[in-house]
């Protein structure tokens, strides 16, 4: 069996070594004569996995003991609701959001059910083709929420605003892909399935001191403080996604950490955008300065070439290149585990079409 060049947007490519090791753990975990899937989540061996999975996040993001790391269920989508439950004041709560894409809009919708949401920056009317930059969020807001990378339209925040309130970021599709000062955020969340593991678990990194200040009753599962007290084992955790995420992050750490991943990601993006810019058959959906390093959304300038292009990339062993159903066109997701060679294969196909 030869592996495909996998450009899927999520679930997505992970390091081959992670597939190998997690497959072994399903058959025989740590030489116990038992599968990872049949042992108690409270066993010493799995508690060690959860401890390491939580600790490695803080090592990679260079965060101190004022932050807690959680692995939760419900996807990033549940975080759209958990964030306001934990941070929006009861009664007259108010939060500032940017509307930079489908996921940001979903976050706004959920938060609106608990209080006032003010959209301080939006590119909705321009079909999300850029990242809004001239806005402020002052202390009148309980928190500010942004989405670092627009997975569908292919835009990415290159810098983050200085706000006068808590800073919350949905990093689902670019976490661990680039260096930044992660301590500027009070809360970060990410569904694992875009850049750090399989579907089924969501990473939450939260500064402890911001919790418990809303005066709101929070149902048990939605309460970050409870999950912290229970060390991410309030209920039975999704053991396999947590284990495979831990392996993915160890692989990242052993290969130069985030800085080295960023350099590889920049090289991949430069190769593909370079081809899009010089090839008259292709163009991106968004403005140049806000282009994402993770999700390259593009389209043909001449739709009559669609059949020929689709045939060519499929024959080249490429998988997952179709654009999101809401946008059409193509999307090449260049997550950490995708090798430069796969991008070269795609670029060669694009060149031969022209
Ligand atoms: C995929 C995605 C989500 C939704 O993630 P689920 O885990 O499926 O709920 C949210 N935000 C962003 C930026 C995404 O890319």
Q: Tell whether ligand 1 has an atom less than 6 A from the beta carbon of residue 286.
A: no
Per annotation, catalytic residue among 170, 174, 186, 223: 170
Q: 286 and 241, same structural domain? A: no
Q: How far apart are CA 17 and CA 273, in angstroms?
A: 29
Q: Is 170 marked active-site?
A: yes
CA of 191 to the centre of ligand 1 (A): 6
Q: Give the tens place of pLDDT for each residue, 250-273.
A: 999 999 999 999 999 999 999 999
Q: Is 313 marked active-site?
A: no
Residue 175 is predicted with a pLDDT of 98
Residue 289 belongs to a domain: yes
Q: Give the tens place of pLDDT for each residue, 220-230.
A: 999 999 999 99
CA of 104 to the centre of ligand 1 (A): 9
Say what the pTM is: 0.98
Last residue of a domain, one of 189, 222, 254: 254
Grouped pLDDT means (10 residues each) for the chain, 354 residues:
90 97 98 97 97 98 98 98 98 97 98 98 97 96 98 97 98 98 98 97 98 97 98 97 98 98 98 98 97 98 96 97 94 98 98 95
Residue 352 is predicted with a pLDDT of 97
Q: How far apart are CA 229 and CA 146, in angstroms?
A: 27
Q: 151 and 229, same structural domain? A: yes
Strands 149-150 and 155-156: antiparallel
Which residue, 201, 204, 141, is CA-closest to 167? 141
Pocket residue to mutate for ligand 1, from 11, 107, 191, most atoms within 8 A of Cβ: 191
H helix intervals, the chain? 16-27, 44-61, 75-87, 102-112, 224-229, 239-254, 257-278, 306-315, 340-353
Q: 142 and 68, same structural domain? A: yes
Total domains in the chain come to 2
Residue 116 is predicted with a pLDDT of 98
The dihedral through the CA atoms of 264, 240, 81, 87 has a sign that is negative
The neighbouring-strand residues paired with 330 are 298, 322
Which residue, 203, 213, 212, 151, is CA-closest to 182? 203
Pocket residue to mutate for ligand 1, from 131, 146, 173, 204, most atoms within 8 A of Cβ: 173
Please calculate the CA angle 312-314-319 and round it to the nearest 5 degrees: 140
Q: How far apart are CA 128 and CA 153, in angstroms?
A: 7
Residue with the nearest Cα to atom 7 of ligand 1? 75
The neighbouring-strand residues paired with 167 are 144
Last residue of a domain, one of 254, 280, 315: 254
Residue 2 is predicted with a pLDDT of 75
Q: 190 and 328, same structural domain? A: no
Instruction: Domain of residue 302: give its range.
Output: 257-353
Q: How far apart are CA 71 and CA 238, in angstroms?
A: 9
Q: 287 and 140, same structural domain? A: no
Residue 95 belongs to a domain: yes
CA of 347 to the centre of ligand 1 (A): 28
The neighbouring-strand residues paired with 291 are 155
Residue 1 is predicted with a pLDDT of 59
Q: Tell whether ligand 1 has an atom less than 6 A from the beta carbon of residue 284.
A: no
Residue 6 belongs to a domain: no
Residue 173 belongs to a domain: yes
Neighbours of 256 (CB within 10 A): 12
Pocket residue to mutate for ligand 1, from 10, 76, 326, most atoms within 8 A of Cβ: 76
Residue 21 is predicted with a pLDDT of 98
């Amino acid at each position: 069996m030869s592996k495909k060049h996998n450009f899927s947007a999520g679930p997505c490519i992970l390091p081959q070594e992670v597939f190998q090791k997690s497959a072994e753990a399903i058959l025989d975990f740590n030489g116990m004569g038992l599968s990872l899937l049949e042992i108690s989540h409270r066993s010493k061996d799995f508690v060690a996995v959860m401890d390491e999975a939580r600790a490695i996040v803080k090592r990679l993001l260079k965060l101190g003991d004022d932050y807690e790391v959680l692995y939760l269920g419900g996807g990033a989508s549940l975080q759209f609701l958990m964030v306001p439950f934990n941070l929006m004041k009861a009664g007259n709560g108010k939060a500032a959001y940017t509307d930079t894409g489908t996921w940001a809009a979903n976050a706004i919708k959920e938060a609106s059910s608990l209080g006032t949401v003010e959209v301080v920056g939006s590119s909705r009317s321009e079909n999300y083709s850029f990242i809004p930059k001239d806005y402020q969020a002052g202390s009148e807001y309980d928190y500010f929420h942004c989405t670092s990378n627009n997975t569908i339209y292919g835009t990415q925040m290159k810098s983050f605003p200085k706000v006068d309130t808590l800073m919350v970021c949905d990093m689902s599709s670019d976490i661990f892909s680039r260096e930044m000062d992660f301590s500027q955020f009070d809360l970060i969340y990410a569904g694992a399935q875009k850049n750090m593991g399989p579907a089924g678990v969501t990473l939450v990194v939260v500064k402890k001191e911001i919790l418990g200040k809303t005066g709101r009753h929070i149902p048990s599962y939605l309460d970050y403080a409870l999950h912290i007290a229970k060390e991410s084992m309030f209920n039975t955790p999704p053991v396999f996604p947590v284990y495979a995420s831990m392996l993915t992050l160890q692989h990242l750490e052993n290969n130069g950490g985030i800085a080295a991943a960023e350099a590889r990601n920049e090289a991949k993006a430069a190769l593909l955008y370079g081809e899009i810019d010089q090839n008259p058959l292709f163009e991106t959906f968004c403005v140049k300065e806000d282009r994402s390093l993770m999700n390259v959304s593009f389209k043909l300038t001449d739709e009559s070439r669609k059949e020929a292009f689709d045939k060519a990339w499929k024959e080249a062993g490429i998988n997952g290149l179709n654009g999101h159903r809401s946008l059409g066109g193509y999307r090449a997701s260049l997550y950490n585990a995708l090798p430069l060679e796969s991008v070269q294969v795609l670029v060669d196909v694009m060149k031969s079409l022209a």
